[in-house]
Structure 1
Amino acid sequence: MEAALGHAILTVWGALGFDAELMARYGPRVVDGLWTTLGLVAVSCSVGFLLALPLGVALVEGGRVTRALCLSFSTFFRGTPLLAQVFLVYYGAGQFRDALDAVGLWGVFRDAWWCVAITFTLNTAAYQAEIIRGGVRSVARGQGEAAAALGLRRGQTYLTVILPQALAQGLRPLGNELVLMIKASSIASVVTVYDVLGATKYAFSRSYDFEVYLWAALIYLVLVETVRRVWNLLERRATRHLRPREA
């Protein structure tokens, strides 16, 4: 599948009039970088969402200490640059090599890809938690009261009543967060991860042909536009019960 998609991408590039020799030499490396980018975004956004669910609920339902801890986490990762966070994890992990080696985690933190994936996950979890918190607060209080009147426990109420409505309300900002993560993934190239931009920088350093950056811009544009269109379909389907029926 990867080979077929890579061939299709190179064919499209050729049809657009890009330099065939340059494309044959560096195109496969850029396609490999595309898979790296997709992997980073998929892992960070999916795991970040799993972390954001309890964080978002805790920001609403937690006690004073719990809310303070969750708010501190959210404030730090939303208030500091993503690039600085990547540097803190990638370069800072080496300061604790002995401790990480003792617990068997140095093998993870010595790999630039995992450092970036962990940083992206924590960063997007903070943003998604705030989106979920806003969605939960948008659900009318009467929904929870009605569920309690039916004998549902608090956990059951959240799983079956509150969270589905909160996520439906937050679909649009969650989609925006996914788009932002796709574009922000280019930061990974700064710490030697050969994603789309990393592979493009390598190609430019060997060829000095600015055309390779047009490849990268086109790839990011296609990714973002694809996600936008797919997310629009998901949002329309998830919120179809909120729209008035046609006559």
Structure 2
Amino acid sequence: MMIDLQIIQDNLPAFLDGARVTILLLLASAAAGLSLSLPLAVARVSANPFLSRPVFLFTYVLRGTPLLVQLFMVYFGLAQFDLVRESSLWPLLREPWFCAWIAFTLNTAAYTTEMLAGALRATPAGEVEAARSLGMTGFDIYTRILIPGAVRRALPQYGNELVMLMHATSIASAVTLVEITRVARDVHANTLLAVEAFGTAALFYLALTLCITGLFRLLERRLLRHLARPAGAS
């Protein structure tokens, strides 16, 4: 059996277009999810139950249900309510790209919130005490000590979360988005060549994974170099 390279070459522009959709969806969802997770993580570790418990419920539900179900709930579920269809947001909510963005944003925000909350709890007490001794306010302690430190500590985990989010974008084809997996399905339907279709898709996902992991390795070396063991240390 020989791999038909001509089929791959002929469909390469379609795969590149699909990769563009995948990357845009990944970046938009990750940026919005991270922005949402920062205040949610602060609320999650709050001693006030009126702040922490709603965030716990949000993360528990989003992490405890399949992302595909969440996507269907947003894309198909919202459309059944007259209030939604008659609202000014309906032109956006009926678009598959926007619905996928909402679902992926909320999902990654839930995981990132718990990730950052754990990193906030792991902050050494001495850092907080030192900040208070310098007369810092609670807001200053969070913005200058707690959150930056938590982000640095959570960086390796967050890199894995972005890889998982990138892989999860493959289900966006279920709501008609033409990303990498949808292109592979179309190529397979037209040619009946599974290796050429899905093998090419796998190479695209592998390349994106290598780019993400490589970027986070650079960030870790820069932001976590103070944790590296000095040369010659036992």
TM > 0.5 fold call: yes
Query: How far apart in 1 are the matches of 2:47 and 2:3?
Result: 56
SS class of match (2:45): helix
SS of match in other structure, 2:226: helix
**Cα deviations by residue, 1:144-191 (Å, 9 ceiling, x for unpaired):** 122122111111111111111111110111000001011111010111
Distance (whole Å) between structure 2 residues aligned to residue 230 and residue 29 of structure 1: 26
Q: Closer, same or farther in 2 for the Cα pair 1:24/1:245, shift >3 Å?
A: closer
Residue 104 of structure 1 and its aligned partner are, at CA, apart by 0.8
Q: In the alignment, is the contact (CA less than 8 A) between 2:62 and 2:106 conserved in 1?
A: yes
Aligned residue in 2 for 1:142: 126
**What is the Cα deviation at residue 90 of structure 1?**
0.7
**Is 2:49 the counterpart of 1:41?**
no
Structure 1 residue 120 displacement after superposition: 0.2
Task: State the partner residue of 1:13.
Answer: none
2-structure distance, mates of 1:23, 1:243? 44
Cα deviation digits, residues 101-142 of structure 1 (max 9, x gap): 443111111111111110000000000000100110111122
Cα 1:222/1:110, change in 2 over 3 Å? same
Q: TM-score, normalised by structure 1?
A: 0.89
1:165 to 144, 149, 161: 149
1:103-182 superposed matches below 5 A: 103-182=87-166
What residue is the counterpart of 1:186 in the other structure? 170
Residue number in structure 1 paired with 2:185: 201
Q: Distance in 2 between matches of 1:24 and 1:228?
A: 27
- Whether the aligned pair in 1 keeps the contact of 2:8 and 2:200 (CA below 8 Å) is no
Residue 170 of structure 1 aligns to a residue whose secondary structure is: helix
* Aligned Cα root-mean-square deviation (Å): 1.5
Query: What's the CA shift for 1:25?
Result: 3.4
CA distance in 2, matches of 1:152, 1:102: 49
Q: Quick one: distance in 2 between partners of 1:81 and 1:136?
A: 27
- Identity among equivalent pairs (%): 37
For residues 222 and 186 of structure 1, what CA distance do their matches in structure 2 show?
A: 15
| Correspondence for 2:214 | 229
TM-score (norm 2): 0.94
Structure 1 runs not aligned, ≥5 long: 1-16
Structure 2 counterpart of 1:73: 58
- The alpha-carbon deviation at position 62 of structure 1 amounts to 5.1
SS state at 2:202 partner: helix
Residues 115 and 157, structure 2, Cα contact 8 Å, conserved in 1? yes
Aligned-pair CA distance for 1:244: 3.4
Question: Which residue does the alignment assign to 1:6?
Answer: none
Across the two proteins, how many residue pairs are aligned to each other? 230
Instruction: Give 4+ residue runs of structure 1 displaced > 4 Å after superposition.
Output: none
